[in-house]
Structure formats: C-alpha cells, structure tokens
Amino acid sequence: MAGTTGSAGIGGRGGSTGTAGAEGGTTGSAGSTAGRGGGAGTGTAGTGGTGGTGTAGRGGTNGMAGNGGTAGTSTGGRGGSAGTGTAGAGGMGGSGGAALVANGTYKVIVHLSGQALDVYSHGTADGANVDQWPYNSGANQLWKFTNLGNNVYEIIGMESGKALEAVSTSTADGVNVDIRTYTGADNQKWAISPTDVSGYFRLSPMSSPNAVLDVSGVSMTQGANVYVWSWLNQDNQKWAILAP
C-alpha cells in the first residue's frame, strides 16, 4: 500500500518584539528644570519561520507497507531586533538666590540709635572691643564683607584687617563681640537675613544661629557695648549695611 504523505512542518515562532528603551533621566536638583524622559524603545517584530515540507512515502512492494515520508522541516523565525531608547537628559541644577549684600566695604548702622558699628579707640590688636559710636568715616567704622555662600559672610575691619567675631563659640546670651585674626571659625562667620524693617538686617554668628549682633541694654549712648543676644526683633538688633 502506498505510504502516506509526510506531515507539513510547523512554522517557526516569530521573534519577540524588542525591549523598551532606557528609562528617562532623573529630575534635576531643587530649583532645576526636569530632565526629558527617554523615547519609547522600538523593536522589529520577528518574521515567522517557513513551513516545512515532507517527502511523499514510497509505495510498498508485494503488499509490504511503503516507507513513510520524511518529516517536514521548518526554518525558525528570525528574532526581532533589540529596542532602542534615548535616555532622558537630567534637569539642570537650580541657581541659588541672589546675595543680600554684595561683596564690598560698608558702614554698619544700628536702627535704634543710628550709630555705627565701631572698633573702640581705633584698636587693631586681637581682642579689641566693638561698640557703637556716631559715624565719623573712621577706618575703624568700615567693614569689608565677603560672601562665603548662602548669605554667610566674613566681616573684616578695614583699619585692623581683623575679623568681627563673637569671642567664643558659646550659645549663651551676652557673649561679647571683638575683632581677632581671621581663622575661619564659626564664631567669625555671620549669617545675614532680612528683618521686618526694609533695608535692615540681623547678623547671626554661625556658632550661635539663634543669637544676633545686639547693642547692650537697648542703649542709645555712644560707646555702648556690642555683644550677641537671642533674637527679640528689637531695633537695637537691626542693622543697615550701607556704602560709606
């Protein structure tokens, strides 16, 4: 009896679609423009395999069964190409706020009495005391401000070349203020922030951020001492920083 025709081969399975593209970049730091998301990945779908063909069996001889046809063969489908995606660009870093006081030389005037921040008796030695005194354009009443970042300043007396400082890193009320060779210690760095009076600022030593530059005893007297005291929102704690 004649052999049966071989079964057709099963077509190969198509390749899987390509993977999605890379994830978009992360958003930039605070104050920045967000990064663009990556483009969606693309991939070429795989093509199906070619169906196999079988060889017909040969007829049998003298009543013997014919040989079956050979099994069909098929070609495997070609896999799709890998997807590609453009990574998102990260956001640009935010810019810091403008400095409250530009670098330069200034007189510093207290709101209460209208007197100037002054190195007593033109002292230039380490430890010379600081007081208030009517402004007279003396070099001991002029101060060079340099922004260290984030509105934190070193403040240097023009006559002495020494730094304005709280005499220690104590956070207690009443720590005295003097001048001393600049070392970069926190008691020689001053954070400047606005007050509720336009054009007047509070000056806080970084070593005691809740305290401010203060004229002792809410005094109007020339020669009154200057020290640091907890912020009370008083006029003897508010200072104008003005061109001389």
Clarify whether residues 194 and 225 are in a common domain.
yes
Tell me, what's the pLDDT at 183?
Answer: 98
SS3 for 139? Answer: helix
pLDDT at 97: 63
Model confidence pLDDT, tens digit, residues 108-155:
999 999 999 999 999 999 999 999 999 999 999 999 999 999 999 999
* Banded pLDDT at 196 (limits 50, 70, 90): very high
Question: For residues 11 and 9, what is the distance between their CA atoms, to the nearest angstrom?
Answer: 6
What's the confidence (pLDDT) of residue 23? 34
98 falls in which pLDDT band (50, 70, 90)?
confident
148 and 78 within one domain: no
Q: Considering the chain, what is the average pLDDT of its residues?
A: 75
- pLDDT per residue over 146-177, tens digit each? 999 999 999 999 999 999 999 999 999 999 99
Q: How far is Cα 76 from Cα 53, in angstroms, rounded to an integer? A: 14
Do 216 and 130 lie in one domain? The reply is yes
Distance, in Å, from the CA atom of 118 to the CA atom of 227, rounded to the nearest integer, reads: 12
CB burial string 54-63: b at 16+ within 10 A, e below: beebeeeeee
Positive/negative CA dihedral, 121, 124, 130, 132? positive
Distances (CA, A) of 91 to 25, 40, 199, 211: 8, 19, 35, 38
- The widest CA-to-CA distance across the chain, in whole angstroms, is 138
Same domain, 61 and 118: no
- Among 40, 68, 96, give the residue marking a domain's end: 96
Please compute the mean of the pLDDT values over residues 15-31 and round it to a whole number.
Answer: 34
Q: Does the structure show a pLDDT above 80 at 93?
A: no
Listed residues 64, 80, 96: the one ending a domain: 96
User: Residue 89: is its pLDDT beyond 90?
Assistant: no
Q: Are 165 and 190 in contact (CB under 8 A)?
A: no
pLDDT at 92 over 60: no
In DSSP terms, 108 is beta-bridged to 241
Do 230 and 110 share a structural domain? yes
Give the mean model confidence (pLDDT) for residues 184-207.
98
How many CA atoms lie within 13 Å of 164's alpha carbon, on the beta-carbon side? 32
Range of the domain at 199: 104-242
Domain boundary among 67, 96, 125: 96
64 and 118 in a single domain? The answer is no
The total of structural domains in the chain comes to 2
